[in-house]
Amino acid sequence: MREPSPDDVTVTLADLERLVRRLRGLTPRAWSAKERSERIRALAEALAVIGGEGHPLPVVPDHAMADVIAVLGYDALAVEGAAPAVRALLLDTLDAL
C-alpha cells in the first residue's frame, strides 16, 4: 500500500472545506430534505472513529453540524495515513447532497 503524499492531504482538505461551506449554506428546509441530517451525523461518527478516542459527538442542532464536521475532519486528517479514507467519506457525502 502506498504512503499518502502531502498532496493527498491537501486535496482532502479542499474537499472538507467544500463540504463545510456547503453545509453552512443549507437552510432549515434543506436540512430536512433527503435524510440529510442523518447522513451528516453518520459522517461525523465515521470521522470520530478515524480521529480516535476523545471525540464524543455533541448533541447540536443541524445548522451547527458544519462546525462539527470541520473539527472532526481536521482531527481525522491528523491521523497518519487516514487521508484516503477521509476523502472517500467526504466525496460520498458530497455526492449525496
Instruction: Express each pLDDT in 33-87 by its tens digit.
Output: 778 899 999 999 999 999 877 667 878 999 999 999 999 999 999 998 999 999 9
Q: Is residue 80 part of a domain?
A: yes
Q: Is residue 55 part of a domain?
A: yes
Q: Which residue has the higher pLDDT, 34 or 17?
A: 17
Q: What pLDDT was estimated at residue 58?
A: 77
- pLDDT-derived band of residue 32, with 50, 70 and 90 as boundaries? confident
Instruction: Identify the helix (H) or strand (E) that includes residue 21.
Output: helix 6-24
Q: Is residue 1 part of a domain?
A: no
Parent domain of 78 = 6-96
Q: What pLDDT was estimated at residue 1?
A: 44
Q: How far apart are CA 24 and CA 19, in angstroms?
A: 9
Q: How far apart are CA 4 and CA 83, in angstroms?
A: 7
Q: What pLDDT was estimated at residue 8?
A: 84
Number of domains in the chain: 1
Q: What pLDDT was estimated at residue 5?
A: 59
Query: What contacts 95, CB < 8 A, 6 or more positions away?
Result: none
Question: Beta-carbon neighbour count of residue 54 at 10 Å?
Answer: 7
Is the pLDDT score of 95 beyond 70?
yes
Q: Is residue 12 part of a domain?
A: yes
Q: Is residue 17 part of a domain?
A: yes
Query: What contacts 50, CB < 8 A, 6 or more positions away?
Result: 76, 79, 82, 85, 86
